[in-house]
C-alpha cells in the first residue's frame, strides 16, 4: 500500500511540474511590429504579461530572431509575418514572460508553426540560445535549407545577425 501511495505522489508531482512550465492560449492578432514580435488580444489572462491600454499583449516569438526593421530584410521579415498571422487567431505555446512583460511563445496558425515558417522563408535565424525540444533540430534544418536556397536574408552574402546589429546600434 505504501508503495502504491508513493508512486501516486510521484506521478502527481511529475504531471504538475510538466504542466507548470508552459501553457497554451489563443490570441487574436491586432498588429505586427516586426518579423518576430506582434500584439494580440488573448482569450484568457496571461499571468505576469504586460497588458497594453487597448487590452493587447506583446508576443515575442520563441526560438527565432528576425532582422530589426531598420536592418537589411527587416521590413521583408515584418511583411512575411503579417502575411502569416495578421488579423488571425493564433495558438500560443507559452514558454516564458520576458523582462519587458512580453509573452515568449511558439505561435501556431492551424497546425503550422509560424516561428519555424519564418526561418523556412529566410526571414529569421534559428536563435540557438532559445530553442527547445522538440523544435531545435527542425529549426536548424530549416535555416540550413533556407541558406542553401538563398531565401530572404540569405540572399545577402554576409547577413548580420540581429543580436550583433543591436549591439552595434545601441545609443
In a domain? residue 16: no
DSSP state of 84: H
Question: For the whole model, what pTM was predicted?
Answer: 0.82
62 in any annotated domain: yes
Q: Is 2 one of the annotated active-site residues of the chain?
A: no
* In-domain check, residue 5: no
Q: Which domain holds residue 49?
A: 22-168
164 in active site: no
Question: What are the pLDDT tens digits along the chain (171 aa)?
Answer: 555 444 333 333 333 333 334 578 999 999 999 999 999 999 998 989 999 999 999 999 999 999 988 898 999 999 999 999 999 999 999 999 999 999 999 999 999 999 999 999 999 999 877 777 777 889 999 999 999 999 999 998 777 777 777 778 776
Return d(Cα 104, Cα 68) in angstroms, integer.
Answer: 17
Tell me, yes or no, whether 160 lies in a domain: yes
The β-bridge relationship of strands 64-65 and 125-126 is antiparallel
Q: Look at residue 10 and tell me if it is in a domain.
A: no
CB 163 within 8 A of CB 130: no
CB 99 within 8 A of CB 58: no
Count of structural domains, the chain? 1
8 in a structural domain: no
Is 1 a domain residue? no
Of 68, 76, 117, 143, the active-site residue reads 68
For residue 150, give the CATH number of its domain: 2.40.50.90
Say if 164 falls within a structural domain.
yes
99 is catalytic: no
Kindly state the cell numbers that stand for 170: 545601441
Amino acid at each position: 500500500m505504501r508503495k502504491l501511495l508513493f508512486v501516486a505522489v510521484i506521478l502527481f508531482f511529475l504531471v504538475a511540474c510538466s504542466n507548470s512550465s508552459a501553457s497554451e492560449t489563443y490570441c487574436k492578432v491586432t498588429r505586427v511590429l516586426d518579423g518576430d514580435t506582434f500584439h494580440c488580444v488573448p482569450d484568457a489572462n496571461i499571468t505576469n504579461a504586460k497588458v497594453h491600454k487597448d487590452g493587447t499583449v506583446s508576443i515575442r516569438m520563441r526560438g527565432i530572431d528576425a532582422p530589426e526593421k531598420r536592418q537589411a530584410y527587416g521590413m521583408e521579415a515584418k511583411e512575411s509575418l503579417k502575411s502569416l498571422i495578421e488579423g488571425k487567431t493564433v495558438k500560443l505555446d507559452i514558454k516564458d514572460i520576458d523582462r519587458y512583460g512580453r509573452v515568449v511563445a511558439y505561435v501556431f496558425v492551424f497546425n503550422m508553426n509560424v516561428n519555424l515558417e519564418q526561418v523556412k522563408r529566410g526571414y529569421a535565424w534559428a536563435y540557438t540560445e532559445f530553442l527547445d525540444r522538440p523544435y531545435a533540430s527542425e529549426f536548424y534544418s530549416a535555416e540550413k535549407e533556407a541558406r542553401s536556397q538563398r531565401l530572404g536574408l540569405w540572399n545577402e552574402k554576409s547577413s548580420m545577425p540581429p543580436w550583433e546589429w543591436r549591439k552595434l546600434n545601441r545609443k
